[in-house]
Amino acid sequence: MTVPQSARGGGRAGRALRATASRGPLGVAPVPRRSIPTYELLSDDQLDRLEAHADWILATVGVDIRGDDESLELFRSAGATVIGENVRFEPGLAAHLCSTAPSQFDLHGRDGRVVPIGGSNVVLLPAYGSPFVSDLDRGRRYATLQDFENLVKLTYSTPYLHHSGGTVCEPVDVPVNKRHLDMVYAHLRYSTKPFMGSVTAPSRAEDSIEMARIVFGHEFLEQHCVIQGNINVNSPLVWDDVMTGALKTYARANQGCVISPFIIGGAMGPVTQPALIAQSHAEAMTGIALSQLVRPGSPMVYGNFLTTMNLKSGAPTFGTPESVLSTYAVGQLARRLGLPLRCGAHYTASKVADAQAMQESADAMMAGILAGSNFVIHAAGWLEGGLTTGYEKFMIDLDHCGMLIRMIEGLEIDRNQLAVAAYEDTRPGIAFIGSNHTLANFATSNYNSTMANTDSFEQWTEDGGLDTERRANAQWKRVLAEYVPPAIDGSIDRALLDFIAGRKDSMADAWY
Amino acid sequence: MTVPQSARGGGRAGRALRATASRGPLGVAPVPRRSIPTYELLSDDQLDRLEAHADWILATVGVDIRGDDESLELFRSAGATVIGENVRFEPGLAAHLCSTAPSQFDLHGRDGRVVPIGGSNVVLLPAYGSPFVSDLDRGRRYATLQDFENLVKLTYSTPYLHHSGGTVCEPVDVPVNKRHLDMVYAHLRYSTKPFMGSVTAPSRAEDSIEMARIVFGHEFLEQHCVIQGNINVNSPLVWDDVMTGALKTYARANQGCVISPFIIGGAMGPVTQPALIAQSHAEAMTGIALSQLVRPGSPMVYGNFLTTMNLKSGAPTFGTPESVLSTYAVGQLARRLGLPLRCGAHYTASKVADAQAMQESADAMMAGILAGSNFVIHAAGWLEGGLTTGYEKFMIDLDHCGMLIRMIEGLEIDRNQLAVAAYEDTRPGIAFIGSNHTLANFATSNYNSTMANTDSFEQWTEDGGLDTERRANAQWKRVLAEYVPPAIDGSIDRALLDFIAGRKDSMADAWY
């Protein structure tokens, strides 16, 4: 969108915005289950070869674990070869060390709801980690705590996201060493959905878990997963002590992590996708193995973030055919390992919620869903390669999430769906619009989009000729205006605020 | 896009357009083959049930064939039960009558190129049938012959479309009874790719075939398929004499047709998708059966156009989860029948090439490709439920076609793709950007988008902050400016023009 600031909001277009703004769906819904098959891109022989290559990489190149003697020692004790900071694994060892991780586990929300991770469950989360936000009114700008809270509220308000996410944007108006406290508070206060805590230092991970203990209780948290950390590998094939420190902190508390190699082909891995897939598999297995050495049975998600690069400019590219293919392969490898899968998302390199944004996003997200993804980080809001979370993009993505949730229900082939009665009662050339079968089924047959405009051109023009991005602009404002915070026990809220105040008082502000 | 007319084209943004306009890929390329598996949504049991339901519909409701005694007699002779204009088929008869249609056949272009239809081949075509066109400069307007010629030229200029299409838009400035002559001429003169002729009257189909005879020769045309007709069923379950007349004309000349039931769930069929799929299957089989009764072995495509409806407004909706699911089911049914498949397209209800347009289009097109579509009508340019062909949408779709053509190549798992040499020569933490393997593979590894902007926000802003639609605007102008018509033998061209002049002189203009 390149509409000048002054043209927005007022006059005819403004009236049209108010007139046509449809409200996004509100609420909390059960986690959807995939009833359709996964897409199996590769043959068993090809998968064998990818697994063997991952094993070969781990035996030949290994992974470096930097500045973390404890983790080196854990791997040595488990049978790996440790030379300096380099750890090598005999073929099969890494997969074997992953075998105590559960194939499915439950995440708990503070309202008592259970969010199952793994199996055929599909859990969708908002975007993660952007330093910027954007919307049509104020453009692209550094994110603030206010934006963070807004995104938590938008996530809480939709049935199409089942998890509050983690760093839904970076609140850069809060000191780096304190912002995790405000972020975790926002998730706990403004939502009831499960969430992810800090991973930028072991102490911040510990703070995040401690705040969860205040809400859930020590006993409950010891036995149940209520918080997760989003752990990226320092690809290629390096673990640094920040990431292993956070990973160990969550695992030790029996909480979960998502282990995601972050590989852009041609940079953190080779330019050819099969190599990337094998490398990502190798890296993910080492992280999950470490979690299991710290605490067997701690609940982990096998993640990946594989994409391509524009090889002229070095810019990462998204929703590309190569990354779509890799997504399917990664899904197959996760199933062979028997672990919950994170992959797919509404990824795009576009700066605005335009045609490029949704072509790339739709392809990347569809691939994740058909690949069998159980846990989709960045299911809403992602723009500009993750540098920006867009308010309008968020709402457009949500509608697509709703469509995909309908899609994974699949088709039921029974007498009603086959409309036997309708055909018994008709002859050629008679429209079905008024048939009893149509009347009985029309309310439930089709997903009802909150975003698509299907009006006539004349009606659409009369309503201001608003493109999707402008319609989405009205929608997020409406949802935020109608947001009502979930109840919280006053004493728990005070305990959280006291904890935060104490931690903030204990440190000078740090901005790096 | 709602940018006012006056803001377009000039000044800073205009310079930026010229600066950033990337040229679309030009030329003619071989038909791509799908090396990846199809997505198998339904089980064999479910497919058996759908086939049985289609048979039950044909036995119980049958199809009406209106105003065409010859076709009724052909079906009666073949064993169907004909009562008045209603034709009923014993279970299995319709499929049996389809069995002489070839599972794969070749279409011929006037440059000698062969476009194979069926098997694993994926042939992409432009949009078909819109009375309107639109572009950012002139907005939405009735299409003209000039637009028709432009779209033929854009199609000829891209390697991602392999067929010139048919009524790429309706040239409403030419009388209804004469425009087919100008349309066929445009395909034959401004392109060398295979094309579709008129189906709006048997005599117009005959004119179309006669013009093809002038170019290809009587003998060649008798033995080879060089032109097709796009035949829609008058759903539900009705064939009118216009459509059967055109179908018979093409089949008799041993030319091809695409048989496409056009069903919007809740209108021309029940609101539940399984019923639609079965009805569509029943309708398609009756059309193919008729073609085979006219001329066994005439080359047909099993088509479908199934979509959903907004049940509040009655507007057709596209790229919806229900239609995606149906696309997969239809693909499976076509494979069981052993016929080339038409399905999938860059469908959308959006009026502009925005986020909605590409989300809907990407989902609908991806489903067609993974469903195993062999023949994708509407692969470029479709807007507004087919009422409009958009110039910008056309270019955006083309880029996505390029991506999908790359995707269906799949992954090759070999030593080079696994980057064995690159790992032998590295250690953890070393980026692959400068490796020999990257240098050797970077030029061929990734599809190179002509449309996606992957620049930094700062660079993109400096270049005018153009969204995809505005970048596409520059691209189609560039391609049209660089278009060079293919050579044609002067005597053949004169013969075509003489034929057109003679036919036009023989009729008064008719505008309906």
Q: Which of A400, A411, A448 to probe by mutation at the B interface, max B CB count within 10 Å? A: A411
Residue closest to B393 by CA, chosen among B447, B344, B451: B451
* Chain A touched by B413 (CB under 8 Å): yes
pLDDT at B20 over 70: no
Residue of A nearest to B465 (CA): A2
Distance (Å) of CA A471 to CA A21, B78, B178: 6, 56, 43
Q: Which of B85, B86, B272, B405 to mutate to test the interface with A (most CBs of A within 10 A)?
A: B272
Cβ <8 Å between B442 and A271: yes
A435·B270 Cβ contact <8 A? yes
Helix H segments across B144-272? 145-156, 179-190, 202-216, 218-223, 241-252
> How many C-beta atoms lie closer than 10 Å to residue B501's C-beta?
11
Exposure string of A140-160, with b = 16+ CB inside 10 Å and e = fewer, is beebbbebbbbbbbbbbbbbb
Backbone CA torsion sign across A58, A59, A64, A65: positive
SS3 of A414, please?
coil
Amino acid at A255: Q
**All residues at 6 or more sequence positions from B383 whose CB lies less than 8 Å from its CB, including other chains:** B130, B134, B348, B350, B351, B352, B353, B357, B389, B390, B393
Query: What number of CA atoms fall less than 13 Å from residue B34's CA on the CB side?
Result: 24
Q: How confident is the model at residue B196 (pLDDT cuts 50, 70, 90)?
A: very high
> What letter would DSSP give residue A206?
H
Pairwise CA distance, residues A343 & A341, whole Å: 6
Per-residue confidence (pLDDT) for residue A7, from 0 to 100:
33
Distance in Å, alpha carbon of B476 to nearest chain A alpha carbon: 16
pLDDT tens digit sequence for A420-466: 999 999 999 999 998 999 999 988 899 999 999 999 999 999 999 99
User: In angstroms, how far is the first alpha carbon of chain A from the final one?
Assistant: 33
Candidates A389, A420, A436; CA nearest to A170 is A389
User: How near does any CA of chain B get to the CA of A158, in Å?
Assistant: 19
Evaluate whether B340 touches B376 at the Cβ level (below 8 Å). Answer: no
pLDDT of residue A26: 57
pLDDT in the model for residue A25: 46
Whole-number Å distance between alpha carbons of B18 and B11? 11
HEC profile for B359-391? HHHHHHHHHHHHCCCCEECCCCCEEHHHCEEEH
Residue B265 touches chain A, beta carbons under 8 Å: yes
| Count of Cβ atoms closer than 10 Å to residue A84 Cβ | 8
- What residue ranges in A3-96 does DSSP mark as E strands? 63-66, 81-83, 86-88
Q: Which amino acid is at B245?
A: G
- Cβ contact A235:A263 at 8 Å: yes
In this predicted structure, the answer to whether residue B29 has a pLDDT above a threshold of 90 is no
What are the structure tokens assigned to B392, written together? 């910008």
Q: Tell me, what's the pLDDT at B512?
A: 83
Q: Is B418's CB within 8 Å of A272's CB?
A: yes
Mutation choice for B interface testing from A346, A354, A401, A404 by most B CBs within 10 A? A354
CB contact under 8 A, A446 and B267: no
Query: Is the torsion defined by CA of A422, A426, A432, A433 positive or negative?
Result: negative
Residue B166 · residue B257 · CB < 8 Å: no
Model confidence at B165, pLDDT cuts 50, 70, 90, reads very high
Burial B466-499 (b: 16+ CB within 10 A, else e): bbbbbbbbbbbbbbeeebeeeebeeebbeebeeb
Q: Give the closest residue to B54 by CA, choosing from B22, B20, B92, B17.
A: B92
- A186: nearest Cα among A207, A210, A166: A166
**pLDDT band, residue B261 (cuts 50/70/90):** very high
Distance CA B259, CA B199 (A): 12
Strands B104-108 and B305-309, sheet pairing: unpaired
Q: In terms of Cα–Cα distance, which of B278, B425, B381 is closest to A418?
A: B278
3-class DSSP state of B23:
coil
Q: Which has the closest alpha carbon to B479: B156, B147, B14, B5?
A: B156
Instruction: Supply A280's token pair.
Output: 């990502």
pLDDT tier, B312 (very low <50, low <70, confident <90, very high otherwise): confident
**Window 164-223 of A, Cβ < 8 Å to B:** none
Confidence class of residue B15 from pLDDT cuts 50, 70 and 90? very low
- Residues in A touching B436 (Cβ below 8 Å): none
A235–chain B nearest CA distance, Å: 7
Do β-strands B139-142 and B132-135 pair in parallel, antiparallel, or remain unpaired?
Answer: antiparallel
CA distance B170 to B168: 7
Given CB atoms, is A36 within the 8 Å cutoff of chain B? yes
Give residue B9's pLDDT. 35
In angstroms, what separates the C-alpha of A155 from chain B's closest C-alpha?
Answer: 21
Q: Which residue is associated with the tokens 């991602």? A: B160
Report the gap between the CA of A221 and the closest CA in chain B (Å). 36
Q: CA of B59, closest CA in chain A: separation in Å?
A: 11
Q: Which amino acid is at B256?
A: G
Calculate how close chain A gets to B316, using CA atoms only, in Å.
Answer: 7
Average pLDDT, chain B: 94
Asked if A227 has any chain B CB less than 8 Å from its own CB, the reply is no
Q: How far apart are CA A471 and CA A454, in angstroms?
A: 13
* CA angle (A383 as vertex; A381, A389 as ends), nearest 5: 45
From first to last of its 512 residues, chain A has per-residue pLDDT tens of 333 333 333 344 433 433 334 444 457 789 999 999 999 999 999 999 999 999 999 999 999 999 999 999 999 999 999 999 999 999 999 999 999 999 999 999 999 999 999 999 999 999 999 999 999 999 999 999 999 999 999 999 999 999 999 999 999 999 999 999 999 999 999 999 999 999 999 999 999 999 999 999 999 999 999 999 999 999 999 999 999 999 999 999 999 999 999 999 999 999 999 999 999 999 999 999 999 999 999 999 999 999 999 878 889 999 999 999 999 999 999 999 999 999 999 999 999 999 999 999 999 999 999 999 999 999 999 999 999 999 999 999 999 999 999 999 999 999 999 999 999 999 999 999 989 999 999 888 999 999 999 999 999 999 999 999 999 999 999 999 999 999 999 999 999 999 999 999 999 999 98
Tens digits of residue pLDDT in B39-64? 999 999 999 999 999 999 999 999 99
What pLDDT is attached to residue A10? 36
In 3D space, the residue among B429, B432, B470 whose CA is nearest the CA of residue B451 turns out to be B470
Residues in chain A, overall count: 512
pLDDT at residue B402 is higher than 60:
yes
Q: B236 by DSSP, 3-state: which?
A: coil
What's the pLDDT at A27?
Answer: 73
Considering only residues 320 to 359 of chain B, which have any Cβ-Cβ distance to chain A shorter than 8 Å? Answer: 320-322, 324-326, 329, 349-359
Considering only the beta carbons, identify the residue of A266, A354, A453 that sits closest to B469.
A354
Q: Can you tell me the distance from the alpha carbon of A21 to that of A450, in angstroms, rounded to the nearest whole number?
A: 9
DSSP A451: S
- B495 shares contact with chain A (CB less than 8 Å): no
Q: Cβ neighbours of residue A130 under 8 Å, at least 6 residues apart?
A: A143, A169, A170, A381, A382, A383, A384, A386, A387, A388, A389
Q: Give the number of other Cβ atoms within 10 Å of residue A424's Cβ.
A: 11
| Predicted model pTM | 0.94
- Structure-token pair, residue B278: 């079965």
Contact across the interface for B419 and A41, Cβ inside 8 Å: no
In order of A216, A496, A504, B328, the CA distances from A207 in angstroms are 14, 11, 11, 49
Q: Interior CA angle at A39 toward B356 and A280, to 5°?
A: 95
Q: Which among B234, B358, B422 has CB closest to A362?
A: B358
* Predicted pLDDT at B182: 98
Partners of A256 in the β-ladder: A228
Q: Residue A29: what pLDDT?
A: 87
Contact A166, A195 (CB under 8 A): yes
Please name the helix (run of DSSP H) or strand (run of DSSP E) that holds residue B406, with its range, or none.
Answer: helix B391-407
- Alpha helix locations (H) across A191-320? 202-216, 218-223, 241-252, 273-294
Q: Which of residues 100-129 of B touch A (CB under 8 A)?
A: none
Residues in chain B within 8 Å Cβ distance of A451: 356
What is the rounded distance in angstroms from the CA atom of residue A235 to the CA atom of residue A72? Answer: 18
Determine contact, residues B252/B281, Cβ cutoff 8 Å: no
Measured CA to CA, the distance from residue B389 to residue B126 in angstroms comes to 9
Interface test with A, best of B65, B238, B411, B448 (most A CBs within 10 A): B411
Are the Cβ atoms of B426 and A61 closer than 8 angstroms?
yes
Alpha helices in B267-373 (DSSP H): 273-294, 321-337, 355-370
Encoded tokens for A153: 């509220």
How far apart are alpha carbons A210 and A229 in whole angstroms?
14
Chains A–B, number of C-beta pairs less than 8 Å apart: 389
Q: Tens of pLDDT along B323-361?
A: 999 999 999 999 999 999 999 999 999 999 999 999 999
- Which residues of chain B does A404 touch, with a Cβ-Cβ cutoff of 8 Å? 321
Q: What does the pLDDT read at residue A313?
A: 87
Distance of CA B342 to the CA centre of its chain: 8
